Amino acid sequence: MIESRSFPPRQSIAVKRALLSVFDKSGLEPFARGLAEAGIELLSTGGTARALREMGLAVTDVSEVTGFPEIMDGRVKTLHPAIHGGLLAIRDAEDHTRAMEEHGIGGIDLLVVNLYPFEETVAGGADAATIIENIDIGGPAMLRAAAKNHAYVGTVTSPEDYEAVLGEIKSGGLSLGTRRRLAQATFARTAAYDTAISNWMAGENGIETPPARTFGGTLMATMRYGENPHQGAALYTDGQAVPGVAHGEQVQGKPLSFNNINDTDAAFQTVASFSARTPTIAIIKHANPCGVAQGGSFLEAHAKALACDPVSAFGGIVALNGLLDADTAKAIIEVFTEVVIATGASDEAKAVMAGKKNIRLILTGGLPGPEQGGMDVRSVAGGLLVQGRDTKLAARTDMTCVTDKAPSETEWSDLIFAYTVAKHVKSNAIVYARDGATVGVGAGQMSRVDSSRIAARKAADAFGDDFLKENGCVVASDAFFPFADGLLAAADAGASAIIQPGGSMRDDDVIKAANDAGLAMVLTGTRHFRH
């Protein structure tokens, strides 16, 4: 254990010397000019030093301070006692100040550093060698040193802090409260940076369960509360520029709540599972689809999705896998809706939505790739439960018909549609579908039989008691039927074809029951539990 050096932190520090080394130079000129006007000596490196000189500012190269040139393509430039001593020195400790005098080390009161764009380089699809070169070394080392010594040094990692920091400096000094806030933000930034690097390396090397796993994020928004009013909540971004609710443009409406964001993500992930060539709409309530449909237009798809469960759709989330048009917007606003999310919207559609200012309209600019990898992280008492995202897509080539009767082409289409929807329904999941639309959804039940009955009841409530039997439908189950009773409940409701993973010890009994009932049944070999 290292013994503590107990000195009270200074309530305010006068900044006399600042080191600036930034990749992102937005906002740099007014900030640096303000520092210079306050009589602060500017130290800098490489491209930042050139930028400052082009602004007409006097700047001292770090190499002049260290007495050592930048070498190895700039990999080594600030890793030197003249820099780290100036950041780490305890100014009230006599032995520290004596060492500074003995070795000619000047104090650095303010460090302004933002890091090489590692996350952006990965997101841009660069090759591994380029990605590795964008791992910053000197920057995180300086930031951690300065943040540790925040009793005497201020650290700035984001241009968003320039104005506030400069204002305090010009008012007489950088306060302890601000330095503490900046230090916390600094350690959070370096932790998130290292998280992105370690997770990229795990993926690059095919390591699914590394011995240590870290997670990081940058604050995007603070919610008024979480799932319930007594819970605090916030949205953090993880550095991945994936189209969706986290990075979408909110065109109108009040700020999104925790539940809005959770449900909106569920809705958008659902429609993203379908080809953008076919207009698809999902209406979500409490993270479960209450209606999903495809059509020749979004207007048609919306009408079919709404028909599945118009009662539950009240106060729901509507997602489109394409551009919102005016006619569809007019149909959507006829029902109270919390959020509409789409890849874009016509000017006419935006004008329609503007008539309902309480509806949040989110435009994403694209769809998240349904096969895009990533991690699903959940907290448990004392730990984190981590798994890869469920990226498996329903494909007919992976499926096997196991009954005497084979599905018709229309049934095949509806089976694949229903199974894709079932992937986004909480287990146990049962989905009835016909003509590219859900007609009954059973979600989140402890018994698969109960889910079958609830889905059938939903269909009866929406379309009439004998609708499924008179018009026919298919049914999808997210997991195998452990007994024939769930399958028979679906058959009693009117299903003529069934899709399920299979894999039960009683598969033979279930297949026999399907044959006896004259059903077509397809096994996928892939389970889609969603808890």
Token match 């991690």: residue?
375
> Ramachandran region of residue 434, left (φ > 0), alpha (ψ -120 to 50) or beta?
beta
Spatial contact of 48 and 77, defined as CB atoms under 8 Å apart: no
Cα–Cα dist 58/108, whole Å: 17
Cα–Cα dist 15/60, whole Å: 16
Spatial contact of 295 and 279, defined as CB atoms under 8 Å apart: yes
Of the candidates 156, 125, 209, 178, the one whose C-alpha atom is nearest the C-alpha of residue 18 is 156
DSSP string, 306-331: HHH-TTTTTTEEEEESSEE-HHHHHH
Cα–Cα dist 286/264, whole Å: 10
* Length, in residues, of the chain: 531
Cα–Cα dist 341/320, whole Å: 6
- Within 10 angstroms of residue 346's Cβ, the number of other Cβ atoms is 14
Question: Is the previous residue joined to 428 through a cis bond, with omega within 30 degrees of 0?
Answer: yes
Residue 112, CA distances (Å) to 142, 236, 242, 386 in order: 10, 23, 29, 35
- Within 10 angstroms of residue 148's Cβ, the number of other Cβ atoms is 15
Strand-pair partners of 17:
41
Strand-pair partners of 175:
12
Beta strand pairing status for 383-388 and 375-380? Answer: antiparallel
E strand spans, 382-494 = 383-388, 400-401, 430-434, 437-442, 473-477
Cα–Cα dist 42/325, whole Å: 54
**Three-state DSSP state, 19:** strand
Of the candidates 212, 194, 87, 105, the one whose C-alpha atom is nearest the C-alpha of residue 150 is 87
Cα first-last separation, the chain = 44
Cite the active site residues.
148, 286
Cα–Cα dist 398/446, whole Å: 28
3: its two tokens: 């013994």
Cα–Cα dist 119/123, whole Å: 6
Cα–Cα dist 370/224, whole Å: 31
Spatial contact of 298 and 276, defined as CB atoms under 8 Å apart: no
Q: How far is CA 293 from the centre of its chain?
A: 25
336: its two tokens: 């109270």
